[in-house]
């Protein structure tokens, strides 16, 4: 599982030299860089995390009072550090959201089975309608629901899905068949993402798209689906009111799917095997029905943009991103009902503030501008960053790079740094230099099959061709003590992903958050003090738009 990749010799030599030079000021770093670097403190990182994850911030749901508190906190901090408004004379970029809340009194029938909301199914609509009605729609299993010409794979080939309900496997055909050479083996491609499945089903003209949940290929359990699909769902406001989307988007549990396949006289596991071998679809000769009643509300959330202008090329920016939002609170939940999102992503937001302070503390202003973009609605599908990338305040061709922090490492200091989507761009050279200073090595992410490169805000920049880096402390504890701590803390961090128990803990060790923040500070520093334009590697699926 755990694959270490050695860097080419040339680069190793370079990192060695810079590592040696790191204790003295080099020609490249004439300012008080090291002082600012060392000034990044665990205490401050903890303090900001604690505030942002407090109950007072109500789980930082977009468009709620929790948003207002969060925006105030961010703006006042950036302002106090001397950062200028990034959007004209405002620190805020309004993001128009369509909030669609499905009535939980909802049942999905497939064949003779009826499945209950959250227990075995979830569904919603991106059509801006108070009611969508799926009635006796033919069910077709479409394997992975992939149409990928470059892999010679089209599950929809020769199939007319108009008015039909497509049932789709999660992940892509390479995942459970890594030796087959299909797609990128265990490394998830964008075709494996659930967002893609609905996009493709919509392009094909299907009426409904239902994904079968399986814990391993999804990389998270059913409770994550049930929680994140209940309550208000957001999308960006569109001109056509979501008319180009399928009417119903949903998930069913694996158990539910097995029952439906059995009624169709099919074995789910055997059908999945077929779907793995090659493009595949099969009519189940059963009907699906569901009524989704929704309340609609247009509302406005905000990205926060704060800039420290460069001294020579203020028009050229390095943009740090971290999403400030989380899941809010669930008034129907007994006991603790606030999704505080301490790890996800009060930590990345806190790191941004602390890093902004380090940049502001430099006694020589870097040549390029340093910009912090704190985005909204990441949890709802990277909407804030998508909106920004589609309406960039700083031209994308003046955006040198994007560096993203999402759910920082609260499991303690590490010997390694995990690069999410390793091998994509030259930004990794900068990262290698920064981690060499810390005596850490770069490794490939632990589970490339989970598709993390497509699951946070840097992806919105990558899609638009801006080189984007996402990295964090790896899995090798720095020492024995860290190893013990990591074991204990990991149970909580993993178990509390998108749960109410993701809350700030005084006994969290922030040495890992600190070293990662320092690492990003150095990567950012080297970029804002350089005139280099790092490129995507030729093998990457992304390239700078001309
Ligand atoms: Zn999250």
Mean pLDDT of 78-98: 97
What pLDDT shows up at residue 29? 55
pLDDT reported for residue 12: 34
- Determine the distance separating the centroid of ligand 1 and the alpha carbon of 368, expressed in angstroms: 31
CA 494 / ligand 1 centre spacing (Å): 12
Query: For residue 528, how far is its CA from the centre of ligand 1 (angstroms)?
Result: 29
Q: What is the pLDDT of residues 214-236, one digit of tens each?
A: 999 998 999 999 988 888 888 89
Q: Is a pLDDT exceeding 90 seen at residue 20?
A: no
Q: Give the pLDDT confidence score for residue 21 in this predicted structure.
A: 38
Query: Measured between alpha carbons, how far apart are the two ends of the chain, in Å?
Result: 38
Query: In Å, how far from its chain's centre is CA 503?
Result: 19
Residue from 97, 61, 69, 68 nearest 341 by CA: 61
Distance 405 CA to ligand 1 centre (A): 12
Residue range 24-53: average pLDDT? 85
Distance, in Å, from the CA atom of 322 to the CA atom of 77, rounded to the nearest integer, reads 15
Residue 211 Cα to ligand 1 midpoint, Å, equals: 20
Cα 8 to averaged position of ligand 1 atoms, centre (Å): 34
Could you tell me the residue ranges of all domains in the chain?
Answer: 9-19+33-82+309-528, 100-296
Asked if 412 and 514 count as a contact pair (C-beta separation under 8 A), the reply is no
Indicate the CATH number for domain 9-19+33-82+309-528.
Answer: 3.40.630.10
List the alpha helices (DSSP H) in 324-454: 347-360, 383-390, 427-437
Q: Which residue has the higher pLDDT, 5 or 445?
A: 445
CA of 412 to the centre of ligand 1 (A): 20
453-489 b/e (C-beta count within 10 Å ≥ 16 → b): bbbbbbbbbbbbbbbbbbbbbbbbbbeeebeebbeeb
Residue 48 has what pLDDT? 98
Place of tokens 């670097």: 37
What is the whole-number distance in angstroms between the Cα of residue 379 and the centre of ligand 1?
5
Distance CA 96, CA 386 (A): 12
**Residue 3 pLDDT:** 32
Region label for 258, one of left (φ > 0), alpha (ψ between -120 and 50) or beta (otherwise): alpha
Nearest to 349 by CA among 323, 326, 372: 323
pLDDT band at 331 (very low <50, low <70, confident <90, very high): confident
Per-residue pLDDT at 541 exceeds 90? no
In terms of Cα–Cα distance, which of 340, 344, 418, 346 is closest to 379?
344
Tens of pLDDT, residues 227-266: 888 888 888 998 899 999 999 999 999 999 999 999 999 9
Tracing tokens 């939940």 back to the chain, one arrives at 333
- Check if 9-19+33-82+309-528 and 100-296 are the same fold: no
Band the pLDDT of 377: cuts 50, 70, 90.
Answer: very high
CA of 505 to the centre of ligand 1 (A): 18
Where residue 5 falls among pLDDT bands split at 50, 70, 90? very low
Reduced to 3 states, what is the DSSP secondary structure of residue 158?
Answer: coil
Q: How confident is the model at residue 86 (pLDDT cuts 50, 70, 90)?
A: very high
Ligand 1 centre and the CA of 249: distance in Å? 20
Across the strands, what pairs with 132?
Answer: 292
The pair phi, psi for residue 162, each rounded to 5°, is -55, 125
Match 């959201």 to its residue by tokens: 97
With bands split at pLDDT 50, 70 and 90, how would you rate the model's confidence at 546?
A: low
pLDDT at 28 over 60: no
Taking 80 as the threshold, does the pLDDT of residue 7 lie above it? Answer: no
* Distance from Cα 149 to the centre of ligand 1, integer Å: 31
What does the DSSP assignment read for 170-211? SS-TTTT-GGGT-TTTTSPPGGGSHHHHHHHHHHHTBSEEEE
The rounded Å distance from CA 33 to ligand 1 centre is: 32
Q: Which CATH class is domain 100-296?
A: alpha beta
Is the Cα torsion angle 24, 364, 319, 508 positive or negative in sign?
positive
């Amino acid at each position: 599982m755990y694959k270490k990749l050695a860097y080419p010799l040339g680069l190793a030599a370079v990192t060695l030299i810079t590592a040696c030079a790191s204790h003295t000021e080099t020609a490249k770093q004439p300012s008080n860089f090291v002082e600012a670097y060392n000034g990044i403190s665990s205490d401050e990182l903890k303090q900001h995390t604690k505030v942002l994850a407090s109950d007072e911030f109500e789980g930082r749901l977009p468009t709620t009072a929790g948003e207002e508190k969060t925006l105030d906190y961010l703006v006042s901090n950036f302002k106090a550090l001397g950062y200028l408004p990034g959007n004209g004379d405002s620190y805020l970029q309004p993001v128009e959201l369509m909030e669609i809340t499905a009535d939980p009194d909802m049942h999905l029938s497939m064949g003779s089975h009826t499945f209950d909301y959250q227990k075995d199914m979830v569904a919603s609509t991106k059509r801006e309608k108070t009611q969508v009605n799926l009635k006796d729609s033919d069910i077709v299993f479409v394997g992975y629901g992939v149409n990928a010409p470059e892999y010679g794979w089209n599950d929809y080939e020769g199939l007319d899905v108009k008015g039909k309900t497509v049932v789709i496997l999660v992940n892509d055909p390479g995942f459970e068949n890594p030796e087959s050479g299909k797609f990128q083996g265990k490394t998830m491609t964008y075709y494996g993402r659930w967002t893609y499945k609905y996009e493709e089903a919509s392009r094909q003209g299907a009426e409904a798209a239902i994904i079968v949940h399986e814990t391993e290929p999804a990389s998270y359990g059913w409770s994550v689906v049930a929680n994140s699909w209940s309550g208000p769902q957001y999308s960006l406001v569109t001109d056509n009111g979501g008319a180009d989307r399928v009417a119903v988007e949903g998930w069913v549990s694996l158990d539910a799917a097995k029952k439906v396949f059995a009624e169709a006289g099919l074995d789910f596991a055997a059908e999945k095997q077929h779907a793995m071998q090659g493009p595949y679809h099969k009519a189940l000769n059963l009907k699906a029905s569901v009524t989704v009643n929704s309340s609609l509300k247009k509302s406005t959330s905000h990205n926060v943009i704060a800039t420290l202008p460069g001294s020579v090329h203020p028009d050229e920016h390095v943009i740090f991103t971290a999403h400030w939002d989380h899941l809010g609170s669930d008034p129907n939940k007994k006991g603790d009902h606030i999704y505080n999102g301490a790890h996800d992503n009060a930590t990345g937001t806190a790191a941004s503030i602390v890093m902004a302070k380090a940049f502001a503390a430099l006694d020589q202003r870097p040549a390029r501008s340093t910009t912090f973009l704190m985005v909204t609605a990441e949890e709802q599908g990277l909407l804030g960053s998508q909106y920004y990338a589609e309406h960039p305040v700083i031209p994308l061709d003046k955006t040198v790079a994007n560096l993203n922090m999402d759910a920082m490492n609260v499991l303690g200091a590490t010997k390694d740094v995990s690069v999410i989507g390793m091998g994509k761009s030259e930004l990794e050279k900068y990262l290698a230099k920064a981690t060499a200073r810390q005596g850490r090595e770069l490794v490939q992410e632990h589970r490339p099959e989970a598709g993390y490169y497509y699951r946070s805000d840097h992806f919105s920049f990558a899609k638009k061709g801006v080189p984007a880096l996402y990295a964090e402390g790896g899995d090798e504890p720095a020492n024995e003590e860290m190893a013990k701590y990591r074991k204990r803390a990991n149970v909580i961090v993993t178990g509390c992903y998108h749960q109410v128990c993701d809350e700030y803990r005084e006994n969290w060790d922030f040495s890992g958050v600190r070293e990662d923040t320092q690492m990003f500070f150095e990567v950012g520093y080297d970029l804002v003090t350089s005139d280099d334009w790092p490129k995507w590697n030729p093998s990457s699926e992304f390239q700078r738009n001309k």
